[in-house]
Structure 1
Amino acid sequence: MNIIWVILAFSILVIIHEFGHFILAKLNGVKVEEFAIGMGPKLFGVRGKETLYAFRLIPIGGYVKMLGEEGDSEDERSFSNKSPLRRLSIVAAGPIMNFILAIVLFAVVGYLKGFLIPVVSEVIPQSPAIKAGIQPGDRILEINKHKISTWEDVMGEVAISKGEPLNIYLQRNNEKKTVVVRPMKNAKEGTYMLGVYSSALEKPSFTKSVSYGIRETNSTVKQTFQSLGMLFKGKASLKKDIGGPVTILRVTWAVSKAGLVNLVRFSAFISIQLGIFNLLPIPALDGFWALVSLYEIITRRRINRDKLGTVSTIGFTLLLVLMVVVTIKDVLYPIKL
């Protein structure tokens, strides 16, 4: 049963992403030739007035095929014939839908399960936290000048610290103070820890749940870019810290065993990663086409579509090679869960 939940979760993330492209293409008068759910050979399809809605063999992935997407077309309803601003709205719609979905999923988790507020309930003896003077009842307000709203924010900041000292701004009764804590590595699990726990659960209203969804999405986006920055600075390892499709499936499988609510939360996290990844200015990704549209809006000069098609094809090929390499890395050097 778990494998069904895993496949369903991934399928929904991709379908929502592609639906963003689909609906904006329709609104901008672009002819959508196919809306595919899954990849590979077509199993069956239903043809609408002009669009084929197809289900394909591999139940992970999907795509939207638009007229004139891969080159110049004289048809007024082709993607390439639309203004740069309209094309920008179409390519940006997919990642934006991923962020909206993440907000919704986080809000659902917050409403159903509640969330831990950043108040320390327990401090482990001999831990970095107790050595820094952190006490039960302390409320963590900021870590390295990043605002903390939930306990998940605390865990996220510790995870990306890689053992570097953290400046923790906290409140104790009516007093506010800053303490410096160097997270300790858990040798068994390969993760970092402060040695503090929270059991302060808040059950929010619907309005607060939406606010929680927005905060968690914003926090996850910031932490993702911090992680990317650490990777480029050499503070993170491709071998130990970066996972590909196999790692994602392993984590999703493990999370699904912990219950549906945990799977929903993890799906929100993956939705954000999918949105950010697609916004990278790499040929064949949404970010590349968004960059092209922005260039044409600013310069009012049109880039040759045949050349763009060639660059996109090369970029797509390199992405496939990268995916194969990362998948092999996942198998040979699996990340500890």
Structure 2
Amino acid sequence: MTETLAKPPVTNRPPADPVRRSRLRPRLRRVIKHLLLIGSALVMLYPLLWMLASSFKPNALIFRDPSLIPAQLDLSNYPDGWAALAHPFSHYLLNSAVIVVGSVLGNLLSCSMAAYAFARLNFRSKRLWFAVMLMSIMLPIHAVIVPQYVLFSNLGWINTFLPLIVPKLLATDAFFIFLMVQFFRGIPTELTEAAKIDGAGHFRIYWQIMLPLSLPALATTTIFTFIWTWNDFFSQLIFLTDPEMYTVPVALRTFVDSTAESSWGALFAMSVVSLIPIFLLFLFGQKYIVKGIATTGLK
């Protein structure tokens, strides 16, 4: 009788399944990871969304109402901002487009030629010059802007687009040279050797073999050059002092006046307009950026 009372009660609960636990843990981790990524994305996107919402608010409510849904809709900021300056805003968009196109073409031509020389040619002190090129990446623009200004002033290039375009034709962006050198080194040397046997020179090998095989690196160079040049404010402010030559970043700065009332609604509206080309370029070129950087890193 005492033995039967000492026995533990029998339950019908099945034992825990270790296989099920092992399946739930990765799912839980993925859910937590996605929630953290979504939260981080919302934090980073909030300033952009707030600027977009503020472009539809009256000036009196922009800094009083921090919400992303305008309490009072005002569509006049866009036409007012388009015609607020001495020229229509399309004039400044065109100026920026001219500089961007010249910079992109200059970087594609000069940086690819310099990269081909470092990757395929043998010349004296090649490693030394390659190291000097890499060290120039660490040189800040503030250290060279004064001698550049003196040089361009003596040439009579101030208030022209030449100081912003001509240096791109001289392979001054070492980052893109390094990017293309790494890509060119990953192309099999058998292709260039076979071309040399067929009588092709270096320029023909560069133009007909290396460039067609380097489209991911060229696309990456194009996209980054476009974004960096379009958003460049410091260099354009230094070399362009005539309002006729203003670009988009410099024109946006004129909306803010420290001595009078600033047109914040028009400023945010034109800022949204200026972001559209960058957004479209990044939207359609994102796969080329990932492919170019990934293939360059692997090689």
Q: Which has the higher contact order (CA 8 A, sep 6+)?
A: 2
TM-score normalised to structure 1 length = 0.25
Decide which structure has greater helix share: 2
Decide which structure has greater strand share: 1
Higher CA-based Rg:
2
TM-score normalised to structure 2 length = 0.28
